[in-house]
Amino acid sequence: MITLRDVTKSYGEVTAVDRVSFEVPSGEVCVLIGPSGCGKTTTLRMINRLIEPTSGTIEIDGRDIMDSRPEELRRHIGYVIQSVGLFPHLTVAENVATVPKLLGWERRRYEPKALELLEIVGLPPAEYAEKYPRQLSGGQAQRVGVARALAADPPLLLMDEPFGAVDPLTRERLQAEFARIQRELRKTVIFVTHDVDEAIKLADRIALMRAGRLEQYDTPETLLDHPASKFVHDFMGSDRALKRLGRACVADVMRTDVESTTDGTRAIPREACTDSRFVYLTDESGVLEGWVDCRVLDAGTPPEDAGTPVDWREAAVHPETTLKDALSRMLGFGFRNVAVVDAQGRLVGEVSLAAIEATMADADTHIANLEEGEVLGALPDEEARS
Ligand SMILES: Nc1ncnc2c1ncn2[C@@H]1O[C@H](COP(=O)(O)OP(=O)(O)OP(=O)(O)O)[C@@H](O)[C@H]1O
Ligand SMILES: [Mg+2]
């Protein structure tokens, strides 16, 4: 558990962080968010003593961080930054093993650990361990940064816009990867971003900051449905039904009873098309290779012309993809259904636009009810608060 009490950081006249207090329970992800310059990085860096607070206290599991030497403290806190900061003259595996080496681990302990972590972050060691940072893409370097931060198995991870510098598709993958790793490892994480969707997707709780002050600290649902101020309301955005889709994932609404065949289009009996609009085509191991649209079959198209070959990496989603991302994928492709595959591309189900709409309708009703109740009318007066 991390506890901040009345933490303030001043630089002369500038108060970068102003009496901030919050608590992050062990195993939870706290996302610090807010406009540029609101004090997110300063707050984060005070926790591993890269910056000393002007006043206030910070405790990790009940122990004041000022009681530990900074170097000692940092060895037990993983730190990931946007620019990654990999050592260019060290291989990927050596980069990952940096902290364990500093901690005096023996080679037979840190070497397998580094390889295991590369596997976890989706960089097969056989291919990546001996590469140098300059041979990596931005997204791959970010993964190495995350693996390095996890190497000494620290209970606490501080991440400052770790996925900020990569393209949207890679960011989506890194977020899904992070969510998966976190489900397994249950670290206490403080994660800085200025991307509301990223916060909604990853946070157990969101700390929304404004001009050095903590504006609201609560679950994403509460920030969306019960914003403490107009600022919070506006910052979270008006498309709240859509934003809420970022909290649910494909696994929650997908069908698993989909029709598939390994025999190519030729073998599809028309009867297979009675229940499902799509029959999916897979290889022997179940990897998605395409589909047949049964409506086309019904229209008299010869079966061998009816199949649409696809690359699962582009045309499918994963069970852990958020409904928001799945929806935008469907809209992008113009599909009303999309195949769901596992990490190896094996077909596991299908998600339909109707299923997503149904959850949106639920959220809409929920929000409509809220708006009728006087939630927004009850927002504290901005002037009165400051
Ligand atoms: N060393 C410093 N000296 C003076 N002012 C500083 C210093 N470091 C930060 N500040 C000021 O403190 C405020 C908070 O900075 P901080 O870097 O924490 O913001 P941030 O929320 O991380 O912003 P961004 O989203 O742009 O990264 C800013 O107004 C910044 O100008
Ligand atoms: Mg910052």
Domain ranges of the chain: 2-247, 251-358
Sign of torsion, CA 80 81 83 85?
A: negative
Alpha carbon nearest to ligand 1 atom 12, residue: 16
Angstrom CA distances, 138 to 47, 122, 167, 334, 382, stand at 27, 14, 9, 30, 41
Instruction: Encode pLDDT of 165-175 as tens digits.
Output: 777 777 887 88
- 32 or 366: which leads in pLDDT: 32
- 187 or 275: which leads in pLDDT: 187
Find out whether the beta carbon of 344 lies less than 6 Å from any atom of ligand 1: no
CATH topology of domain 2-247: Rossmann fold (3.40.50)
Q: Is the pLDDT of residue 29 over 60?
A: yes
Find out whether the beta carbon of 20 lies less than 6 Å from any atom of ligand 1: no
Angstrom CA distances, 305 to 266, 292, 309, 338, stand at 9, 9, 11, 20
From the CA of 38, give the closest atom in ligand 1.
21
From the CA of 11, give the closest atom in ligand 1.
4
Q: Is the pLDDT of residue 104 over 90?
A: no
Contacts of 81 (CB under 8 A, 6+ apart): 145, 159, 160, 161, 162
Q: Is the pLDDT of residue 93 over 50?
A: yes
- 367 or 294: which leads in pLDDT: 294
Give the Cα separation of 125 and 279 in Å (integer). 36
Q: How far is the CA of 247 from the centre of ligand 2 (A)?
A: 25
**DSSP H helices in the chain:** 40-47, 70-75, 92-96, 98-102, 107-120, 125-128, 138-150, 168-185, 196-202, 220-225, 230-236, 240-244, 250-253, 294-298, 303-306, 312-315, 323-333, 353-372, 382-385
Instruction: Encode pLDDT of 242-274 as tens digits.
Output: 888 888 889 999 999 888 888 765 556 666 665
Q: Is the pLDDT of residue 89 over 70?
A: yes
Average pLDDT, the chain: 85
Find out whether the beta carbon of 42 lies less than 6 Å from any atom of ligand 1: yes
* pTM of the predicted protein model: 0.78
Sign of torsion, CA 46 189 193 123?
A: positive
DSSP symbol at 284: T
Output phi, psi for 361, to 5 deg. -60, -40
Average pLDDT (352-379) is 63
Q: Report the side by side order of strands in the sheet with 337-341.
A: 316-317, 337-341, 347-352
Instruction: Encode pLDDT of 182-239 as tens digits.
Output: 888 899 999 999 899 999 999 999 999 999 999 999 999 999 989 999 999 999 987 8
Q: Are 316 and 287 in contact (CB under 8 A)?
A: no
Alpha carbon nearest to ligand 1 atom 11, residue: 16
Instruction: Encode pLDDT of 288-305 as tens digits.
Output: 998 887 777 666 666 667
CATH architecture of 251-358: Roll (3.10)
Which one of 11, 13, 160 would you pick to mutate in the ligand 1 pocket, going by the greatest count of ligand atoms within 8 A of its CB?
A: 11
Q: Report the side by side order of strands in the sheet with 288-293.
A: 259-261, 278-282, 288-293, 307-309
Give the Cα separation of 317 and 172 in Å (integer). 11
Alpha carbon nearest to ligand 1 atom 26, residue: 36
DSSP symbol at 67: G
Nearest in space to 280 (alpha carbons), one of 316, 229, 329, 334: 316
Q: What is the pLDDT of residue 378?
A: 41
